[in-house]
Structure 1
Amino acid sequence: MLFTVMQLIGGIILSVGWIPQILQIIKTRSVTDLSLKSYLLMLLGIALMEAYAVNLAAHGVGLAFLITNSLSMAVVTTVVLLIIRYRASSK
């Protein structure tokens, strides 16, 4: 139980850590210093871990991992979409 709580807290902190970046992008409408390739690789890694998390949850374990990984995938996807959006509008 303790490790499940630690997983949830750690995963939420990691996911919430992306929010300042998202807010900065929205505020400045600038993504010139962000690497789309880096974020796409990160998204690919998270997607692969998501498949693993779904498998764990399907076997009755790893629900905390699935929740926090899904949250991470959502925020990194948001960053990727913002990069694509603001790169296209700056050209």
Structure 2
Amino acid sequence: MLFALMQLIGGIILSIGWIPQIVQILKTRSVSDLSLKAYLLMLLGIGLMEAYAVNLAADGNGLAFLITNTLSLAVVSTVVLLILRYRSPRFPKK
């Protein structure tokens, strides 16, 4: 029980850690210093962990992991969508 609570709190803290990045993007509408490739790799890794978390939760274990991983998936997905929305076009219009 203690370790599940620690995992839940730690996962929430890690997920909340992305929120300042999202706020910064929304304020500045700039993503020029962010790497889309890096965020896509993170998204892929979290997506694979999400499949594992669903499997664990289906067996009656790992509900805290499923909750925090789903939160991370949502937050990192938001960053990726913002990068796609605010990135500079590759070939600017003339």
TM-score norm. by structure 1 comes to 0.96
Match of 2:53 in 1: 53
Greater fraction of residues in helix: 1
Match of 2:20 in 1: 20
5 Å-filtered alignment, 1:31-70, equals 31-70=31-70
* Aligned-partner residue type, residue 21 of structure 1: Q
Q: Determine the C-alpha separation between the residues in 2 that align with 1:71 and 1:14.
A: 9
Q: Deviation of residue 89 (structure 1)?
A: 6.8
Q: Deviation of residue 51 (structure 1)?
A: 0.1
- Which stretches in structure 1 are left out of the alignment for 5+ residues? none
4+ aligned runs moved over 4 Å, structure 1:
88-91
Q: CA RMSD in A?
A: 1.4
Q: Deviation of residue 88 (structure 1)?
A: 5.3
Match of 2:71 in 1: 71
Matched position secondary structure for 2:31? coil
Is 1:30 matched up with 2:30? Answer: yes
TM-score norm. by structure 2 comes to 0.93
Q: Determine the C-alpha separation between the residues in 2 that align with 1:88 and 1:72.
A: 26
Task: Report percent identity of matched pairs.
Answer: 80
Q: Determine the C-alpha separation between the residues in 2 that align with 1:84 and 1:5.
A: 35
Q: Deviations over 1:29-63 (max 9, x none)?
A: 00000000000000000000000000000000000
Q: Determine the C-alpha separation between the residues in 1 that align with 2:67 and 2:18.
A: 16
Matched position secondary structure for 1:30? coil
Q: Determine the C-alpha separation between the residues in 2 that align with 1:47 and 1:19.
A: 19
**Higher gyration radius (CA):** 2
Matched residue pairs, number? 91
- Which stretches in structure 2 are left out of the alignment for 5+ residues? none
